[in-house]
Each structure stands twice: as C-alpha cells, then as structure tokens.
Amino acid sequence: MGNVYASGNPSNPPNPSPSPPVSAIGAMPTTVTSAMATRPKDEGLPNPGTFEDLHKKVKELMPMPFEGCKLMVNKGLSNHFQVGHQLSLSADKEKSSYHFSATYVGTKQISPSESYPVILGDIDNSGNLQAQFIHQLTERIRTKALVQTQQTAFSVVQMDCEYKGPSYTATVTTANPDLINESGIIVAQYLQSITNSLSMGSQILYQYGQGQEMAEVSLTARYTGSSWVFTGALSPATCHLSYYHKGQNNVQVGVEFESRMGETVTTLGYQMDVPQANLQFKGSLDTNWRVAAVMEKKLTPMPFTFSLSAILDHTKHRFLSGFGLMIG
C-alpha cells in the first residue's frame, strides 16, 4: 500500500518529482527518481525506495484508457513554472470535463532530475480542487501535503513525512485528522534492504473515529533479479502480488494479483516500444474479461503526441473508444 489516497494525472510537470498519494479525485502527474539507483559509500546495501513504488514497474505497464475525445495542452512559462489545460468530451455528459493545472518546481536541486519545492494544483469545471506540496527538508527528510476539495467541502487532507536512511526508508502518514470529532487515519511504513536484491518491510494502519478503532498490519517483500522483479504484500484482509519482466526488443510484461474485501482480480499487462517510429503500445487483460489498449505516437519534430484508446468489456457487452492529442 502506498499512500492512503491516490491521484491520476492530466498533465506532466517540467521536472520529475516524487509521485503523489494513491486514489483520489482529479489527477496530477508526478514522477519519482528511485533511490535504489544510488549506493552510499559507507553502506553496502542500497536504499530500497518507498512503499508506494513497490508495484510501480507493473503499474506503469497498465494502459490508462479513455473514452471520446481528449485534448491536452502543456505550456512551460519558465524553467520553474508550467500550466496545462485538459479538455475531455464524451457521449456521457458526466464524463465530459475541463481541467486547469499548474506546476511550480523550485531552485533547490537535489539531483539532475529532482528539484524542490514542488507545488502542484488542479481544478476542474465543477470546482473540485486538488493541491499538493512536496519539499526536501534535508538530504534524507522529505515531506508531502495533499488537499482535495469537492465543491466547497474538504474531502481529503493528508500529510506525510519520509526519512530515507542508507539502507531503509521510514514513512509516517496522517489522513483526514479531525481533532474535534477525534477521527482520522495514521499509517506507519518501514522498508529495509536485506541484500542487494531482497528488501522487506511492514506497514501498520490505524483508523479511529465514531467511538471505534481498527488496526491492520501488513508485511511486504520484493526480490529484484537481473531483468525481473517480484513483489508481494500480505495482510489479514488483502493480498497484493506482482511480477514484472523486461524482455528483449523493447517489450515489457507484468502480472498483478489483487484480493481485497472478497474481490479478486488478476491483470496481465504489457508494453511495446518502437523507437524507430516513436511509437508506444500498452495493453491489458484482466479476469473480469476487460480488455484495454492505448497507442501513443509522437509526431516529431512537432511537440505533438497522438493517442488512440479502446476498451472492450465482455461481461457488460460494451465497447468504448477514444482519441486524443497532447501538445507540449
């Protein structure tokens, strides 16, 4: 389990930055540079990264299909500031929307691909707002804050603090804390490198409110081979397994198994890149007999990306398709 809530994203910030929490309204894209690539001189084991990145390689293979028409325009106003517009049109009026987003990346450079602080904001035509603030306080301590509103009411308030040691990562997250009604969610996570290939950790989730309390402990492990990664997480109520394999000729495949609250889904996903044609294709098939595919074609030398999407749901006997254009 990554953060308590998630976000999807309509635009791309100018510089990669840590990814936002998992599941929410609206979306903003953020990327994170894995700390596993660096190895401190005073420690033989690498940093294992964060909990939210455990299944990242498989998640990135899965397509994000859409219906109807989509137009995205991203404009960099400076080296630190970018704005974006996303217009989605669908036969279903409830799925048609407009999003305006803004991203600011500060001047504190941690690495060639990371600068802080990072401020992201997104608002849609219904007035739903999402804002996120990320800052690297010290070399090892990073903080994040997320706020989401629906109309005029706060729906999500989340804050977390992450400490990256030489061979471990510890994170504490609080979500929707309410001192008056004495309710909220607290999540503590710890991930440790056991060997260069194996990392293990645990997570404790504590929820309280309305005179009730609930605690859940989960254990996780990840093994990294030369061209594959296997990750598993177990708790009394959930089971999450994933396998990622990088093949030859720019082909990647992955399998994800999720069992939560009595619902079980297994998804097979793959990604194929054709660098000579600036083409990328992603596809997936799950045990609910839902097939999805997205093709993206970069129209170089122009800053355009054309995309085609298709969804076939055999159970509901429904087929949806879409096409989009991203500028910038």
Residue 112: pLDDT band (50, 70, 90) is confident
Are the C-beta atoms of 51 and 67 separated by less than 8 Å?
no
- Span 232-244, pLDDT tens digits: 999 999 999 999 9
pLDDT at 171 over 50: yes
Q: How many CB atoms lie within 10 A of CB 258?
A: 17
pLDDT at 43 over 60: no
pLDDT at 33 over 70: no
- Span 212-234, pLDDT tens digits: 899 999 999 999 999 999 999 99
Q: Is 51 helix (H, G, I), strand (E, B) or coil?
A: helix
For the chain, the average pLDDT equals: 87
pLDDT at 113 over 50: yes
Please state, in angstroms and rounded to a whole number, the distance separating the CA atoms of residues 8 and 20: 9
pLDDT at 204 over 90: yes
35-327 CATH, one of 1.10.1040.10, 2.60.40.10, 2.40.160.10, 3.40.50.920: 2.40.160.10
| 73 or 155, higher pLDDT | 73
Please state, in angstroms and rounded to a whole number, the distance separating the CA atoms of residues 47 and 281: 32
| 183 or 192, higher pLDDT | 192
Please state, in angstroms and rounded to a whole number, the distance separating the CA atoms of residues 146 and 58: 25
Please state, in angstroms and rounded to a whole number, the distance separating the CA atoms of residues 133 and 143: 8
Q: Which pLDDT does position 3 carry in this prediction?
A: 46
Please state, in angstroms and rounded to a whole number, the distance separating the CA atoms of residues 37 and 223: 15
pLDDT at 31 over 70: no
Q: Which pLDDT does position 4 carry in this prediction?
A: 54
- Span 150-164, pLDDT tens digits: 877 888 999 999 999
**Which range, of 104-113, 116-125, 238-247, averages the lowest pLDDT?**
104-113
pLDDT at 5 over 80: no
Average pLDDT (182-211) is 94
pLDDT at 169 over 50: yes
Amino acid (one-letter) located at 164: K
Domain limits, the chain = 35-327
Residue 111: pLDDT band (50, 70, 90) is confident
Average pLDDT (134-153) is 92
- Span 256-292, pLDDT tens digits: 999 988 899 999 999 999 999 999 999 999 999 999 9
